[in-house]
């Protein structure tokens, strides 16, 4: 006889008088419920709205399905949840949790999902300094860098007499033939090598590697190499907390 696998309820006995059953009628469920805390944090500091303001959108408003704020929020929240690959968004665009975070449970058009797929996000990530025919959304790199500093300064209730910046070049391994990858001898892998600027637990700045990492065995250190100056925090003059700077590199 052929096996029939259409049971709607599985009985696993009972424990202390309580039935243990498995059912498949719970509707849409998610294993990323912790993302609700990320959403609450964003509403408190307005990060996604401020992030979206660093972009200029020249798409026709009547044809826009996914606003820039939705796109950047979707990408940031997905990375925080461990979905770093853009290909993941072909499934994630139907995920109820990302729809909740976007504040948009249903798409306006029948042929769209509540949030964007990989192709739409890819066009945003490849945006230019000025809009082009195929990339209607441009970005302002100065505004993006300034935003990290502004968020860092806003996180402090009072101005400190001195802050110490830790400049750390950290490997970001890649597993394909991504543009800009290099083999690094110390980390023994192909990677990117962004330079991050920390103050305590706060990330106050980040820049991509400006030169090809050395292929030798030495570890790259924070700070400028071959006479390159240490990156100064943007808008340092605008806040008393940033007047006195001590620099340390690991």
State pTM to two decimals. 0.69
pLDDT tens, residue order, the chain (250 aa): 555 555 677 787 877 788 877 777 777 677 888 888 999 999 899 999 999 999 999 998 888 889 999 999 999 999 999 898 889 999 999 888 888 888 888 888 888 888 999 999 999 988 888 888 888 899 998 998 888 888 888 888 887 788 888 888 888 888 888 888 889 999 899 998 888 888 877 776 666 654 444 444 455 544 443 434 444 444 444 444 444 444 444 4
Max Cα distance, the chain (Å)? 81
pLDDT score for 62: 87
Can you give the C-alpha Rg of the chain in angstroms? 23
> If you search the block for the tokens 């192909």, which residue do you land on?
190
| In contact, 121 and 86? CB cutoff 8 Å | yes
Distance CA 68, CA 62 (A): 14
* C-alpha to C-alpha distance for 106 and 114, rounded to whole angstroms: 5
Complete DSSP assignment for 112-177: S-SS--HHHHHHHHT--SS--SS--EEE-HHHHHHHHHHHHHHT-SS--S-EEEEEEE--EE-SS-
Cβ contact 77:56 at 8 Å: no
Alpha helices (runs of H) in the chain, residue ranges in sequence order? 35-45, 47-52, 68-80, 89-92, 96-102, 118-125, 141-154
Q: Using the 8-state DSSP alphabet, how is residue 227 labeled? A: T
Q: What is the pLDDT, as a whole number, of residue 205?
A: 67
Residue 187 token pair: 């980390």
Distance CA 166, CA 250 (A): 7
CA–CA dist 121, 115 (Å, integer): 10
- Tell me the two tokens of residue 155: 């996180």
């Amino acid at each position: 006889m052929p096996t029939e696998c259409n049971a709607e309820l599985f009985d696993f006995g009972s424990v202390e008088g309580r039935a243990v059953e498995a059912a498949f009628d719970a509707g849409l469920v998610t294993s990323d419920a912790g993302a609700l805390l990320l959403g609450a944090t964003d509403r408190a500091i307005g990060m996604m709205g401020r992030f979206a303001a660093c972009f200029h959108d020249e798409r026709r408003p009547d044809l826009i399905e996914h606003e820039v704020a939705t796109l950047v929020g979707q990408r940031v929240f997905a990375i925080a949840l461990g979905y770093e690959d853009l290909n993941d968004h072909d499934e994630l665009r139907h995920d109820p949790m990302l729809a909740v975070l976007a504040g948009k449970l249903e798409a306006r058009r029948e042929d769209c999902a509540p949030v964007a797929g990989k192709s739409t996000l890819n066009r945003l990530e490849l945006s230019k300094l000025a809009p082009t025919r195929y990339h209607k959304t441009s970005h302002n790199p100065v505004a993006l860098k300034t935003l990290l500093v502004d968020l860092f300064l806003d996180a402090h209730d009072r101005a400190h007499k001195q802050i110490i910046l830790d400049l750390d070049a950290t490997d970001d391994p890649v597993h394909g033939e991504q543009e800009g990858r290099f083999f690094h001898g110390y980390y023994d892998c192909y990677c990117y090598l962004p330079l991050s600027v920390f103050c305590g637990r706060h990330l106050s700045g980040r820049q991509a590697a400006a030169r090809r990492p050395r292929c030798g065995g030495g570890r790259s250190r924070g700070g400028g190499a071959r006479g390159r100056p240490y990156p100064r925090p943007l808008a340092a003059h605008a806040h008393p907390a940033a007047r006195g700077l001590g620099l340390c590199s690991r």
